[in-house]
Structure 1
Amino acid sequence: MSKVNVAIVGATGAVGTKILEKLLERNFPSSSIKLLASKRSVGNEIVAGGQQFIVEETVPESFDGVDIAFFSAGGNISKMFAEEAVKRGAVVIDNTSAFRMSETIPLVVPEVNLDALREHKGIIANPNCSTIQMVAALEPIREKFGLNRIIVSTYQAVSGAGVEAIDELESQSKQFENRESIDAKILPSAGGERHYPIAYNVIPQIDSFDSSGYTLEELKMINETKKIFGLKDLKVSATCIRIPVVSGHSESIYIEIDKEGVTVEELRETLVGVPGIVIQDDITTQSYPMPLFAEGKDEVFVGRLRKDPDHPAGFHLWVVSDNLLKGAALNSVQIAESLVELKTF
């Protein structure tokens, strides 16, 4: 297998550090790994997998000789440097929303639409974390029974908003317990006019609102799901909610399949043994997915499978996954592994 020169842009962030860990843990065939970040992080030392790495500044010349570049430093940085990296010979795997809905850029979850990688022109988009775990869980069902409607409510961890949001949850929890005034600067949207505490709270807003009344996070899930499945007419609606959990996104999903008369047992059987999917669905032992127990694990966990009482082809399920792993870093690394296997980098 060919050895690959790798760069990670945003290497000091929550997702960037996980990408490095996964590359080393999964023995990705890299000949070198370059860690890139902003000027203020230059010279920082990161230790992972028993190896020492020194952070460098992200500049155009950083991508000379790089084969695969992971971007996870925000959309503006991706727009600034991704095409430059491609010009210098790298294939970019971008973990921001900068390119996801571009018609010429594949949006990939390897278990769902691997063939899309063959069409890349230098940039590959990694989907939104909530989208990834949902389509991974639904793909085996879609493939066997068809799919025409999805209604999803997400319960998303604060780590999805970055390290600062995690810190704010911890500081707000202490302030609440000490009966101090609670300082909120990050959520629901750092650039928004108003901020609310997340400690001991639930916020029904992730990102800013569109004129339709949906948030940008909800629109990402709607549009990305249709693109990944290749189903423009698929009915999708989402409500995205932030909860006071550090890691692990949870989703309550209602689906309508194309075929009536399917039992819960038949639906469950389509998910048994699927790589990357773990069934936790035994109400007699109170076995169901929870974010506390999904943290640090690569899989997507599925449970609470039920038939809808009123729709003959409707089902409900509960899906949980670590948003920093399968929802971000792991999926990015799996894309890179697929590029190497397909020899398309």
Structure 2
Amino acid sequence: MIDHLRKLQITFLGTSSGVPTRSRNVSALALRLPQRSELWLFDCGEGTQHQFLRSDLRTSQLRRIFITHMHGDHIYGLPGLLASLGLAGNSSGIDLYGPNPLSNYLNGVLKSSSSRISYPFQIHSVEKVAEDNQIVFEDKDFIVRCKPLIHRIPAFAYRVDQKPRPGRFNLEKAKAFNIPPGPVFAKLKLGQQVRLEDGRIINGKDFCGPQKAGKSIVYCTDTIFSKAAIQLAKGADLLIHESTFADKDTDMAFQRKHSTSRMAAQTAKEAGVGKLVLTHLSPRYAPGNAFSPNDLLKEAKEIFPNTLLAKDFMQIDIEKPETVRDT
């Protein structure tokens, strides 16, 4: 099996705030799920489908899209991406999650442009879900939750938790019990109970070691420092947090309801996360200016040392958080 299919994998498709730059597109982040050909997308700024084409990701595998808020640098790429999926004719369906205005926005754009969506398509509002502390989405492998942030318009952070996985399968023990290999082994590895042809009922849990804890990812943008973000990120393996401003521009951060690098790091520290990645960087800190992205990284590391700086097409394998590479 291809190695990336065994683990959760993050690909940054856009890491700039407000407007794109020569090296950074606006917000978009893809999550590749293990053991299935499925992608989830978080935010979809203008040009996101072009970023897909420049990566090793396939839009045909896109199944769910989670929108944090309705500012253009997070949603302007969405109508075009959805229309292209319809023209390609290879989508099995898309579920979208986001603030209340998302439905009116998309339906208006698609209707006005006579765009035909030829695949199953459903929009879910997360505002009441977040208010009532309910689950946004759940299947047999994952749970998605969200919390409201502090921004100029309603905005939400998302947390993806992978459910515990079966422990290591004891192959030698299975052979000692004369259990025939094949499909039976696959079910036992999942901890399921099976009936053999000879009538024996075998419980897979008896042949698996202790369960492995699932991985957890939090995506938090746009917001000023938020206690809700800390609560949502508690104990997460990876926190991806906006870092729009440097500490010297804190007054501007409060005015525009965005985070500084130090605010992101303080959130990571108080939440006790495993790793922090800074994203949503202001173009004012582009390389060559007096203050650079590396300066933002330095500020964050003074508070939370295990911090990385996101850049477009960087990938992180969550199974082994230290594995970071460019595509």
Which one has a larger percent helix, Structure 1 or Structure 2? 1
TM-score under structure 2 length normalisation: 0.29
TM-score if structure 1 supplies the norm length?
0.28
User: Could you say which structure has the greater relative contact order, defined with CA pairs below 8 angstroms and 6 or more residues apart?
Assistant: 1
